[in-house]
């Protein structure tokens, strides 16, 4: 059972549709040792709520309704 891992926060730069434009794509990598563990609380396709509390990043399942984008 994996209860914690050390990982990195990176910001990848991606090319935009308009020539010469770039956008930032923030990423937090989670090891498969963690995500494949039977105790990992999320499944593919789950909606999650991400919030900041003090100096912590909190991630939890989201059970509310979401608005559909047009």
19 pLDDT higher than 90: no
pLDDT in tens, 41-58: 999 999 999 999 999 999
Q: Give the domain extent around 45.
A: 9-61
Q: Domain for residue 57, yes or no?
A: yes
Residues with Cβ within 8 Å of residue 10, at least 6 apart in sequence: 26, 27, 29
Does this model's pTM top 0.75? My answer is no
Q: pLDDT at position 70, please?
A: 61
Q: How far apart are CA 11 and CA 50, in angstroms?
A: 17
Taking the mean position of all CA atoms in its chain, how far away is CA 19?
28
Phi, psi of 63 (to 5 degrees): -110, 0
Tally of domains in the chain:
1
pLDDT band at 69 (very low <50, low <70, confident <90, very high): low
């Amino acid at each position: 059972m994996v209860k914690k891992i050390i990982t990195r926060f990176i910001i990848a730069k991606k090319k935009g549709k308009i020539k010469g434009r770039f956008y930032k794509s923030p990423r937090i990598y989670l090891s498969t040792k963690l995500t494949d563990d039977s105790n990992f609380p999320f499944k593919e396709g789950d909606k999650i709520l991400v919030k900041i509390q003090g100096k912590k990043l909190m991630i939890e399942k989201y059970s509310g309704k979401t608005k559909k984008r047009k």
